[in-house]
């Protein structure tokens, strides 16, 4: 394969993408502070037996050099031994179908649990798992280099939970950043890392008699850095401060 053929081969995915999608909204994190017209700070303890206390302090969530930084510390705060940050777009920015793309750099170390995920906007009314969940990316530090894409949805009783998950080993990266994304429509949800598809979910699998499929309703976005808990496990106190960098969030929709 000559140089010209290599260049064309590399350009084909970008050309096909530009023909299919158009950018509808983006958060580039280029300002001096987080845009509270788009983002909410969640505060307090979280579920899953996690160890952190979420705050709205700039120490735990801020913008620097065009990146959102969610930063976790070992410190006494709010009856917890650790602090961190979790933000969401509930009631400010909702998404239904399209491509959601996030470029991010993950923290390292035992006990870290960063995530890029989505919940149905009915979460605070119907609870979980009735609202559904789309985990665009989850990572736990005890398994370096491995990320997970997962769908959670309810059984007919809205209490029991079904899940469909797949893991992916991250390829090498010079700066530690990777692009995590989903492409979602009324038929399927596909998961990608650096445009490599590694997981597929059929939306019809979440059909339930007597109610609309939850994955055909709007969702909101959540970005957080959790610590410990049911999945991440024991925390290595030598890793702090731990930083989760997010370069941008972009939302594309199919061209009409």
Instruction: Write down the residue that tokens 């509808």 correspond to.
Output: 24
DSSP label at residue 46: -
Q: What share of the chain is helix, strand, coil (3-state, %, to 5)?
A: 15, 50, 35
50 a catalytic residue: no
Q: Which is catalytic among the residues 27, 101, 133, 183? A: 133
C-alpha separations of 75 from 10, 59, 72 in Å: 47, 12, 9
Q: How many CA atoms lie within 13 A of 72 on its CB side?
A: 33
Q: How many other CB atoms are found less than 10 A from the CB of residue 176?
A: 13
75 a catalytic residue: no
Q: What residues have CB less than 8 Å from 226, skipping those under 6 apart?
A: 46, 48, 50, 52, 84, 86, 112, 113, 114, 115, 232
Maximum pairwise Cα distance, the chain: 62
Q: Which is catalytic among the residues 27, 71, 101, 138? A: 138
Strands 98-105 and 112-120: unpaired
Active site residues: 133, 138
């Amino acid at each position: 394969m000559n140089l010209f053929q290599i260049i064309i081969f590399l350009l084909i995915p970008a050309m096909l993408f530009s023909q299919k999608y158009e950018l509808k909204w983006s958060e580039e994190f280029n300002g001096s502070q987080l845009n509270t017209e788009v983002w909410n700070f969640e505060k307090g303890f979280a579920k899953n037996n996690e160890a952190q206390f979420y705050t709205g302090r700039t120490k735990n969530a801020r913008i620097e050099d065009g990146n959102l930084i969610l930063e976790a510390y070992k410190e006494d705060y709010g009856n917890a031994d650790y602090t961190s940050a979790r933000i969401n777009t509930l009631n400010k920015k909702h998404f239904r179908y399209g491509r959601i793309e996030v470029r991010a750099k993950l923290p390292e170390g035992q006990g870290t649990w960063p995530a890029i995920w989505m919940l149905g906007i009915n979460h605070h009314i119907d609870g979980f798992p009735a609202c559904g969940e789309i985990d665009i990316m989850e990572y736990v530090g005890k398994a370096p280099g491995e990320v997970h894409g997962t769908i959670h949805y309810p059984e007919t009783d809205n209490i029991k939970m079904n899940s469909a998950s797949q893991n992916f080993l991250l390829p090498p990266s010079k700066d530690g950043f990777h692009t995590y994304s989903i492409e979602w429509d009324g038929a399927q949800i596909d998961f990608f890392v650096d445009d490599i598809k590694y997981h597929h979910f059929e939306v019809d699998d979440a059909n339930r008699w007597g109610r609309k499929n939850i994955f055909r309703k709007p969702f909101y976005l959540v970005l957080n850095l959790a610590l410990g808990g049911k999945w991440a496990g024991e925390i290595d106190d030598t890793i702090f401060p731990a930083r989760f960098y997010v370069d941008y969030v972009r939302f594309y929709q199919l061209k009409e």
